[in-house]
Structure 1
Amino acid sequence: MRHPIGVFDSGYGGLTVLKSMVGRLPQYDYVYLGDNARAPYGNRSFETVYHYTLQCVRWLFDQGCPLVILACNTASAKALRTIQQNDLPNIAPSNRVLGVIRPTTEVIGNFTRSGKVGVLATRGTVLSGSYPIEIEKFFPDLAVYQQACPLWVPLIENNEHDKPGADYFVKEYLDQLQEQAPGIDTVLLACTHYPLLKDKISRFLPQGATLISQGEIVADSLADYLGRHPEMETRCSKGGRLSFYTTDSPEDFDNHASIFYGENLRSEHVGLV
């Protein structure tokens, strides 16, 4: 029986994380679920994000996934801890749900020389305060500056991110971030959509600044987790198989998903909504 690693995102952005995970750990089976019918999550309430995320996690458990990665910063910020502490003990005590925030905050201090870090994220992630809180646990001396970028996800999901018109909105948010403090030398893309804007973002950063995407960090963290938890690693099936599901139109998902994953995909519809 298949026991794939589940990967969840509110839409397409988690595909950038999945791509890195498959590149790092190709031997495992993976099931990806995008809740496209209810995306974006960034501006929704904590309660709504928690409800949607738990519903999707339970669906992935029903597919046999013993381990689920929330490849979505908003879900990781607003729902992960409640699911881990309140729900898992009751619905699946031997399963695990992990997010993308903790792996990133564990290493981000290694990249900065000035001690000033910028975080580009959705409004929901910024308002949660998750990044400053988690970064302080590992690097208490770092100064963290957050900037919400609410128009970036719509630009990306409407395939406008590589058009000249997107430059204005990229520069606007980066200017707002840099106005908060001089000397920010490390900038984290704290939304899994944002790597698609990486080239444009780099053009508007100060020379020598480091731009960090989460995919490789999360993939390395997953490899480390499986190495430290053989009881979980042995439960994950190894056939190198990928399955993709969406709560919205598979045709729309497949057309957009190729932009994020870098190759054509075939998805199936899931009726959660």
Structure 2
Amino acid sequence: MKKGPIGIFDSGYGGLTVMKEIVSTMPEYDYIYLGDNARTPYGTRSFETIYEYTLECVKFLFDQGCHLVILACNTASAKALRTIQQRDLPGIDPDRRILGVIRPTAEMIGKISKSGHVGVLGTSGTIQSDSYVIEIEKQTPGIAVYQHACPMWVPLVENGEYEGDGADYFIQKDLNAILNQSEKVDTLLLGCTHYPLLLSKIQQFLPKHIQIISQGKVVADSLKDYLSRHPEMVEKCSIGGTQTFLTTDSTTNFDQHAVHFFGSEVRSRFVHI
């Protein structure tokens, strides 16, 4: 068996906020990031299309030598992960693993909330799937989960408007919408990997007593715990401290945007899926 990098997949740039925390937590491993920028956004597409695109990208990362792939995309985790794990992975290679971002985040939010009332903000696809409602209630029975889709937040981030005054209206409007569902909400989950870039704006319009959970650190800690419990998977992951970035669209655009999500400059390579 040849060791390989840990694969990290997202439909675009957002997964880089997760990769940033994973690399910070476990810098010794090799990582390969794939952004399917040519076909983004996934959030507005059908279940069948999201499943098809995600499976193609997972297979591509397997072909690059990855034994472990992280779906650092809420939409893909919500609409494709379970089907791929149960239906496709046994036939591809039952010894490989695919993990998502929803379960570790759902496990955490129930432990943090004191009131038992939590809010979830995400893309339309993620919210419509009810994946967070199902998973949070599974992890913490009896907890009340309120959801709200924020369709303008990702465009604000990807067009570089997340720090401008133009973002204020939409952020305040969406925060009011979810908080109006219950005055007992004390914990708010940012259920999209783009949203950490809006954190300072969100904090500006959010009551001080409400805690905000971003996924990057939660997923990184969960992955570290997973590897500690699965030494057989550690043996399949190469150690070298390298990071490779791949995109299905313009490398120039990817590199220009990626610096804001990853926190440092990257040099990507174009690939065709």
Counterpart residue identity of residue 108, structure 1: I
SS of equivalent residue, structure 2 residue 245 = strand
Moved segments of 4+, more than 6 Å: none
Match of 2:230 in 1: 229
1:43-54 pair list within 5 angstroms: 43-54=44-55
Deviations 1:49-82 (A, max 9, x none): 0000000000000000000000000000000000
TM-score, length basis structure 2 = 0.98
Match of 1:6 in 2: 7
Deviations 1:233-256 (A, max 9, x none): 111000000000000000100000
Match of 1:211 in 2: 212
User: Any conservation in 1 of the 2:43–2:123 contact (CA below 8 Å)?
Assistant: yes
Partners in 2 of 1:207 and 1:270 — Cα distance?
44
Change (3 A) 1:78 1:158: same
Match of 1:187 in 2: 188
Partners in 2 of 1:90 and 1:199 — Cα distance?
45
SS of equivalent residue, structure 1 residue 44 = coil
Residue 207 of structure 1 and its aligned partner are, at CA, apart by 2.1
Residue 2 of structure 1 and its aligned partner are, at CA, apart by 5.2
Deviations 1:90-138 (A, max 9, x none): 0121100000000011111111111110000000000000001001111
Deviations 1:115-172 (A, max 9, x none): 1100000000000000010011111121000010001001100111111110101001
User: Any conservation in 1 of the 2:259–2:265 contact (CA below 8 Å)?
Assistant: yes
Partners in 1 of 2:124 and 2:36 — Cα distance?
19
The answer to whether 1:170 aligns with 2:171 is yes
Partners in 2 of 1:163 and 1:44 — Cα distance?
28
Match of 2:268 in 1: 267
Counterpart residue identity of residue 162, structure 2: H
Residue 45 of structure 1 and its aligned partner are, at CA, apart by 0.6
Partners in 2 of 1:64 and 1:124 — Cα distance?
30
State which drifts further: 176-185 or 64-73: 176-185
Match of 1:247 in 2: 248
Residue 196 of structure 1 and its aligned partner are, at CA, apart by 0.2
1:81-92 pair list within 5 angstroms: 81-92=82-93
1:25-44 pair list within 5 angstroms: 25-44=26-45
Counterpart residue identity of residue 169, structure 2: Y
SS of equivalent residue, structure 2 residue 119 = strand
Deviations 1:192-220 (A, max 9, x none): 00000001011111121100001111001
Partners in 1 of 2:214 and 2:108 — Cα distance?
12
Match of 1:149 in 2: 150
1:51-62 pair list within 5 angstroms: 51-62=52-63
- Unaligned 5+ segments in structure 1 are none
The Cα RMSD (Å) is: 0.7
Match of 2:79 in 1: 78
Partners in 1 of 2:208 and 2:31 — Cα distance?
38
Match of 2:162 in 1: 161
How many residues end up aligned between the 2 structures?
272
- Unaligned 5+ segments in structure 2 are none
Match of 2:105 in 1: 104
Match of 2:221 in 1: 220
1:60-71 pair list within 5 angstroms: 60-71=61-72
Counterpart residue identity of residue 99, structure 2: L
